[in-house]
Structure 1
Amino acid sequence: MVHTLTPTADLKTDVDDVARLVSATGERVRDADLDPWATDIDTAQLQGLYRDMVLVRRMDAECMALQRQGQLGLWAPCNGQEAVQVGTARALRTDDFAFPTYREPGVNYVRGAKPAQYMRAWRGEAHSSYDPYELGSAIQQIIIGAQTLHAVGYAMGIQRDGTDQVAAVYFGDGASSQGDVNEAMVFAASFDAPVVFICCNNQYAISEPVGIAAKHPIAGRAPGFGIPSLRVDGNDVLACFAAMRWAIARARDGHGPSFIEAVTYRMGPHTTSDDPTRYRTQDEVEAWRRRDPIARLEALLRAQGGFDDEFTAGVQKDADALAADVRAACLGMTTAPAITILDNVYAEPHTGIDEERRWFGAYLDGFADDQAAGEQAS
């Protein structure tokens, strides 16, 4: 089966109609499109990908717990989607630039994020959690699909700089219906922009199943814009890595954008304010649990003799250390005075902000008066 889709391809909606290199039970399988991009991957590199996914899942679980304990205002979990994030991000160079959504902590982990940088904004301590130029990763985007336009604009800037960097943009299956995403693909195709579109199809746009908005695979849309695409198993980290290599090579060679649909599953809620039991069954969740990206790579490593007690103990130690550092960073944050929310809105002095600062300051002072009155009454 050829998984590189064209505008006339006979598309199917089956989640198994995907390119993969590792089966759900951990066997190495062959794929004509992906194999050329994974010939040099050895056991040590697979161990590195396994370690990455375990650490991302452990960090994600810790942030979920911190939110439930009232330490974060919100969290968007990525459990189940680690292979997409780790596999694609590991294929990037350090001078490439990623444009993630709010559900890609794994991308930022690969880009070198420090513990506090996963959640400072989720805790409400700052407008953003990190310096994007330090990580080579744009601020996580909460506006659905907007980052695709940013990525294409950045990619067009790369062209004008005359370098061979690549922009990589992540978005969900729901976002693929947004005008911004489609407009971004128009611009990318028209200008041969060096950008890779990565659609993380986790089966749900919040509570809406993907089949409602997409009667055919989402990867089939890209060729209509003149963009070649691959539809891969998003729970196969090796397939995601190979597909990303293919797309990056096209971009670096001046052949323009590519589109990857990674078919995966969101094991947890859309965010911590969501109850997924209201719109999906436990049988469905368990079926996808058997496709777990970490478990299948473990099975492959065991078959290759690359998974023993020493290795797994080291990975677990690193994962626990990361979780402890994330928790310590969160609990150690100092909340700035509320008035500072107006800092850095403009680079230069602005009379409108000055007026808002006076109004907001008086409003906050009112709470101080109420508190003082309460203390006197007691």
Structure 2
Amino acid sequence: MGRLFKLQENCLRAMGHSPPGTDSTEKGSLSLNHVISLLFVVSAQYPLISYIFYKRNDMEEITACLSVVFTNLLTVIKITTFLVFKQNFWEMIHRFRQMHRQSGQRAGGGDGYSYVEDANKQASLLGRAYCISCGLTGVYFMLGPIVQIITSNWRGTIYVRELPMPMKFPFNDVDSPGYEFGFLYTVLVTVVVVAYASAVDGLFISFAINLRGHFQTLQQEIEHFDLALSERETNAGLKSMVDYHEELLSLSRKLRSIYMPTVFGQFVITSLQVGVIIYQLVTHMDSVMDLLLYVTFFASIMLQLFIYCYGGEIIKVESLQVDVAVRVSNWYLASPNLRRSLSMIIMRSQREVLIRAGFYDANLANFVAICRTALSLITLIKSME
């Protein structure tokens, strides 16, 4: 249980965010840290856009920079979303931890409890893997210029130093000490971007997987509930399940509400990134290093989108399965009044819970559609060459 959301919480603590009530004496400094984190990432847009104007006659350089601009812009959306709904994030973390403790009591340590326990293990594993993936992508970008400098010195060739990201500062960023300053600035921006992506995206998939575990626990309770008990015991058990279902639906709606800007931004910006990165992939087929760089970057942004689509899909599917659980239970043993209550659960379960943002639904069908678009773009660009 101690591992639940711990990785994401540590990432947020590193950025200056702590759960409410942990240290009331630091509220002012924490507010300042929030603003600094956001402004720092926003400030990276200036050297990125300056680079686009500097290379305005080179389409390959422009598209390479645009992919980074879009990634940075998406991080700005995620940071802003977290700051606006910060209290909601911490409340959901606290509530899921409470529900995890209560799940063993509800199911008596049986199969229902194992669903939640397995969900927590899966969420921790997937969150850690996602964090490592984001970190490795950032490290790959950072190490590229260093490797090229070392290789050039070893071969005795001249190498024009480049920054890890396509940026153009209002000073000499090729020679010392401007290059070192630009490199350090880029590293710090990358650390902030990776930390927030790991935290905000990791929390979403952790919330979604935990919701699936609780929906499965509810289904288990409904299927094995003994409706032949006394009326008092049956009413108490049914009320407990209805309350449990209501809480899961409420948490699902809250998850959709606080992540709506992020999901919308993720779909829109990923769609734009796919276009520019596919162009880079097709035009750099002859360079193994460049090809590896853009394949890694493409895999990273698609993994971010997959996190939201997979999370939305499992919540939608498991929320609908509650209806099936009622139908396969021994509902025919219930009294007419209890049957009416069960029919209300069925009616509520027939409305699928969707993680929706504008005209986008976070589901695997939309993820596959974007993957197909990427393949179509590869064919289109190859035919135009």
Q: TM-score, normalised by structure 1?
A: 0.23
Larger helix percent: 2
Larger strand percent: 1
The structure that has the greater radius of gyration is: 2
Greater relative CO, 1 or 2 (CA 8 Å, sep 6+) = 1
Q: TM-score, normalised by structure 2?
A: 0.23
